[in-house]
Chain A
């Protein structure tokens, strides 16, 4: 029993190396809960864990979740026992299932079901008085990040019901198409006379729901495209479908056998299915991008200077009276109101525009402005929502409620800019319109010309032409190609929201890049021209910076992780200037300086007021940034750097990444970025934070590095994992390959359907031939799409 190293104690899944008893935090926690007081080999381990857990429960960061208001808003049933949590961090699917063991481990939970596909946990509490906060604390301890879903704003619910409707529509269409074909096949095989008439009518009865129900998405799409005066594939589809159907019905009533119910129905089935599959692929990417870091989604400590003045006592969760006779309580950030005082701890994000009440604080606003270096603010300064607090705890007063705060404002502008953008047309949309007009003109021309010769033949041949030639390429070829591209992208972690990216990306020459967080990591690193520093000083500096969240501290701890840190007494953090403390009886001070001219960050170490050494820091580019940019330049893309950072640091990093001086635009506000981008006819913008949002909305294709805050990654056209800019070239290759498939599908269907259409005009295409030709064409297309080798696309 001594070798517990290779499999996880809880879930028994194999682990790479001797990493401990458990594969993930989730397993650890559940195991320790299930084995309380168990005298096994890991008793010690579980003891330690339990201790940790108890501490977490004591800290009770989710305290606000037991607030009456909170529960009323977030519960999914009246008795307030049902909740849904969106979880981030579900990596080992099997282990995350241990979440379903919550009902065994906690008496409060009566049921917990996980949906891995959507990363949502359905939670049912035993009774309304059970603590939700305890469950949330535990789940967070297991290593998941939580968003408690608000039933009113649950995007997933809408999606689920849409999906259900789509699946039902496909099933019903499949059933109808299959049964229609039973009748038509027997007719092709020789059923004639009265029975054949009966079969015709049976087909019509089965076809009516196809026409009225299955075709609905196309009619709706067509109406939308007429309203917005924007051509979409739905329009020609709807025209062909209804024209073909009504001609067939008219033929049936007149007693002619020229009816095409079977091929129309089976074709509709294929299209619905392929559309559904590709929309599922897009959804998968969206789920993975669900925004978590929204600052409204955290709890903050509200300070009530006079408790008597406050709202109902039920609203107060945990009142503690401190020395200054202030009472504090934890609430959800979204419930902060104008004028309220609240306190944030280090690393929290400002939920709304506020005035600083504490003496000073240090703030990282790289997401808002693109500045790579934190800034110091003093009492009375106004800070924008979205900034991240770096130094110690600080108090603020709300000056604008969250709904009108800077971040929300920016988001609103962004949304309206996005609406404009949805009007961009793909090539296939445009081509499909052309093709429809072309085919309709030929059909009409032929009918008019042939009318004097044989009026009946004139109509039936034009009809055959419309049915055989029109919709196939438009409706099937495009979604099939997209599906293939989406699949390849999803497999590599690239989430594509709008497939028009595949058509556009390769031909766009102007590429704009944000700097901080996009091409660079946003983390500082030691500059290469630093003096040698002996180990003793290193350990002093590590000791001084041991607890700080300042980027300099993070950098030192990362770079010198092999060094021991000295024991520091009397450690003090001075926002904006650095840290000080005593080591072995001597006073040390590590002073941070930001040269506003050059934008350079440095730290100077003093011993007893005497300067010892200065080290310089620079923002580090991502490992593959330079390579990626070089490759993009090689294929003729015009690259430009657009950043909110200082001129000097923008220049330094820009030239390091290979940008020429005239290609670097610095100190850009979100509005200026948009103005910078817009003159180009078509453009790609690659960014990360809300400071890029306007420019992204104004670009033909927007790419976001997923790490952002506030900005929903899935509102960008493409999202990439933040540390892998090289996926841009992969995306380019995939979209190139997808476009090739698209063109091949189009070429095939135009040639094939052109030939079939000609046959139809010459009178060789009767319903039997159409029933054979159309699925054949679709099958060949599916074959082309999936046999095309995308393997050449390197990872």
Chain B
């Protein structure tokens, strides 16, 4: 079971990496606007529309 003494720090380290990633994203205002991107995706590309 002594492998646990390595596994626990590794797993927590991994988790901290993910949390760090989340905090980084949040600081970069990735979660400030949750609704506009969903609409943006639906917007047509005007360049394509012009050609028809």
Binding site for B on A (CB under 8 A): 11-12, 34, 93-94, 97, 100-101, 104, 114-118, 160, 163-164, 167-168, 171-172, 175, 179, 195, 198, 202, 206
Which of B35, B42, B46 is close to A34, meaning CB atoms less than 8 Å apart? B46
Contacts of A115 in B (CB 8 A): 32-33, 36
Convert B36-52 into 0s and 1s, putting 1 for each residue whose CB lies closer than 8 angstroms to a CB of A: 10011011101001100
User: Do most interface residues of chain B lie in helix, strand or loop, or is the interface mixed?
Assistant: helix
User: Are A116 and B19 interface neighbours, CB within 8 A?
Assistant: no
User: What is the CB-to-nearest-CB distance from B9 to chain A, in angstroms, rounded to a whole number?
Assistant: 10
User: What is the CB-to-nearest-CB distance from B4 to chain A, in angstroms, rounded to a whole number?
Assistant: 7
Please, how many angstroms separate the alpha-carbon atoms of A202 and B8 in the complex? Answer: 9
User: Are B32 and A160 interface neighbours, CB within 8 A?
Assistant: yes
15 A-B pairs with CB atoms under 8 Å apart are: A11-B44, A12-B49, A94-B39, A94-B43, A97-B40, A101-B46, A114-B36, A115-B32, A115-B36, A117-B33, A160-B32, A164-B29, A175-B18, A179-B15, A195-B1
User: Are A93 and B39 interface neighbours, CB within 8 A?
Assistant: yes
Contacts of A12 in B (CB 8 A): 44, 49
Q: Is B34 an interface residue (CB 8 A)?
A: yes
Contacts of A171 in B (CB 8 A): 19, 22-23, 26
User: Are B35 and A117 interface neighbours, CB within 8 A?
Assistant: yes
Please, how many angstroms separate the alpha-carbon atoms of A101 and B45 in the complex? Answer: 10
Binding site for A on B (CB under 8 A): 1, 4-5, 8, 12, 15, 18-19, 22-23, 26-27, 29, 31-36, 39-40, 42-44, 46, 49-50
User: What is the CB-to-nearest-CB distance from B27 to chain A, in angstroms, rounded to a whole number?
Assistant: 7
Which of A94, A118, A168 is close to B26, meaning CB atoms less than 8 Å apart? A168
User: Are A104 and B46 interface neighbours, CB within 8 A?
Assistant: yes
Which of B18, B23, B34 is close to A117, meaning CB atoms less than 8 Å apart? B34
Which of B5, B8, B12, B23 is close to A168, meaning CB atoms less than 8 Å apart? B23
User: Are B1 and A117 interface neighbours, CB within 8 A?
Assistant: no
Contacts of A179 in B (CB 8 A): 12, 15
User: What is the CB-to-nearest-CB distance from A86 to chain B, in angstroms, rounded to a whole number?
Assistant: 14
User: Are A100 and B40 interface neighbours, CB within 8 A?
Assistant: yes
**Closest chain B residue, CB of each to CB of A116:** B36
User: Are B35 and A164 interface neighbours, CB within 8 A?
Assistant: no
Contacts of A172 in B (CB 8 A): 19, 23
User: Are A175 and B32 interface neighbours, CB within 8 A?
Assistant: no
Which of B1, B15, B27, B34 is close to A175, meaning CB atoms less than 8 Å apart? B15
User: Are B19 and A97 interface neighbours, CB within 8 A?
Assistant: no
Contacts of B49 in A (CB 8 A): 12
Which of A100, A116, A167 is close to B35, meaning CB atoms less than 8 Å apart? A116
User: Are B19 and A175 interface neighbours, CB within 8 A?
Assistant: yes
User: What is the CB-to-nearest-CB distance from A276 to chain B, in angstroms, rounded to a whole number?
Assistant: 11
Scoring A34, A104, A164 by chain B CB atoms within 10 A of each residue's CB, the highest score goes to A164
Given contacts A97-B40, A171-B26, 8 further A-B contacts (CB under 8 A): A11-B44, A94-B42, A97-B36, A117-B35, A172-B19, A175-B18, A175-B19, A195-B4
Contacts of B22 in A (CB 8 A): 168, 171
Contacts of B33 in A (CB 8 A): 115-118
Contacts of B18 in A (CB 8 A): 175
User: What is the CB-to-nearest-CB distance from A646 to chain B, in angstroms, rounded to a whole number?
Assistant: 48
User: Are A97 and B26 interface neighbours, CB within 8 A?
Assistant: no
Please, how many angstroms separate the alpha-carbon atoms of A592 and B4 in the complex? Answer: 92
**Closest chain B residue, CB of each to CB of A101:** B46
**Closest chain A residue, CB of each to CB of B49:** A12
Knowing A115-B33, A116-B35, A117-B33, say if A97 contacts B43 (CB, 8 Å): yes
User: What is the CB-to-nearest-CB distance from A599 to chain B, in angstroms, rounded to a whole number?
Assistant: 48
**Closest chain A residue, CB of each to CB of B39:** A93
**Closest chain B residue, CB of each to CB of A38:** B50
Contacts of A163 in B (CB 8 A): 32
Please, how many angstroms separate the alpha-carbon atoms of A11 and B46 in the complex? Answer: 9
Q: Which 5 A-B pairs have the closest CB atoms?
A: A116-B36, A115-B33, A117-B35, A175-B19, A97-B43
User: Are A117 and B36 interface neighbours, CB within 8 A?
Assistant: yes
**Closest chain B residue, CB of each to CB of A195:** B1
Please, how many angstroms separate the alpha-carbon atoms of A34 and B45 in the complex? Answer: 13
**Closest chain B residue, CB of each to CB of A174:** B19
Contacts of A116 in B (CB 8 A): 33, 35-36, 39
Please, how many angstroms separate the alpha-carbon atoms of A94 and B26 in the complex? Answer: 25
User: Are B26 and A164 interface neighbours, CB within 8 A?
Assistant: yes
Contacts of B42 in A (CB 8 A): 94
Contacts of A93 in B (CB 8 A): 35, 39
Please, how many angstroms separate the alpha-carbon atoms of A21 and B15 in the complex? Answer: 54
Please, how many angstroms separate the alpha-carbon atoms of A176 and B44 in the complex? Answer: 43
Contacts of B26 in A (CB 8 A): 164, 167-168, 171
Please, how many angstroms separate the alpha-carbon atoms of A115 and B39 in the complex? Answer: 10
Contacts of B19 in A (CB 8 A): 171-172, 175
Please, how many angstroms separate the alpha-carbon atoms of A171 and B42 in the complex? Answer: 30
Contacts of B34 in A (CB 8 A): 117
Please, how many angstroms separate the alpha-carbon atoms of A93 and B33 in the complex? Answer: 14
User: Are B31 and A164 interface neighbours, CB within 8 A?
Assistant: yes
Which of B5, B27, B39, B50 is close to A97, meaning CB atoms less than 8 Å apart? B39
User: Are B27 and A164 interface neighbours, CB within 8 A?
Assistant: yes
Please, how many angstroms separate the alpha-carbon atoms of A202 and B12 in the complex? Answer: 10
User: What is the CB-to-nearest-CB distance from B50 to chain A, in angstroms, rounded to a whole number?
Assistant: 8
Please, how many angstroms separate the alpha-carbon atoms of A117 and B31 in the complex? Answer: 12
User: What is the CB-to-nearest-CB distance from A354 to chain B, in angstroms, rounded to a whole number?
Assistant: 41
Knowing A34-B46, A175-B15, A175-B19, say if A164 contacts B32 (CB, 8 Å): yes
Please, how many angstroms separate the alpha-carbon atoms of A160 and B27 in the complex? Answer: 11
Please, how many angstroms separate the alpha-carbon atoms of A11 and B45 in the complex? Answer: 10
